[in-house]
Amino acid sequence: MSASCPSCRVRVESMNDGRNVKCPRCWHWHTVPKNFDHLCDGCQKTIMEHFPTHPSTPHIRSALEVQRKKYTVAAP
């Protein structure tokens, strides 16, 4: 996605192409927009392991469970 300023000669391009999301905790780009609060996998793991009483931990676990159910294929 890009936009041009009509009065300048500057072109602005967005790095978000709809598939990539920026983690609000570490600011790294990742491709899992279904994570709770748009956190990357590494930040989710860190919060769950090191801060088990953090208010986000139950939400992270439930979002991971929803993803697990949605994307896991049962063995025949």
- CA trace torsion 20, 24, 25, 30 (10° rounding): 0
Determine, yes or no, domain membership for 37: yes
- Better-predicted residue by pLDDT, 7 or 31: 31
Tell me the average pLDDT across 4-30: 66
Average pLDDT, the chain: 78
What is the domain extent for residue 42?
2-71
Q: Is the pLDDT of residue 59 over 90?
A: yes
pLDDT value of residue 14? 47
Residue 10 pLDDT greater than 60, yes or no: no
Residue 51 belongs to a domain: yes
Cα distances (angstroms) measured from residue 35 to each of 49, 55, 58: 16, 15, 12
Question: Does the pLDDT at position 50 exceed 50?
Answer: yes
How many domains does the chain divide into? 1
Does residue 76 lie within any of the structural domains? no
In a domain, 19, yes or no: yes
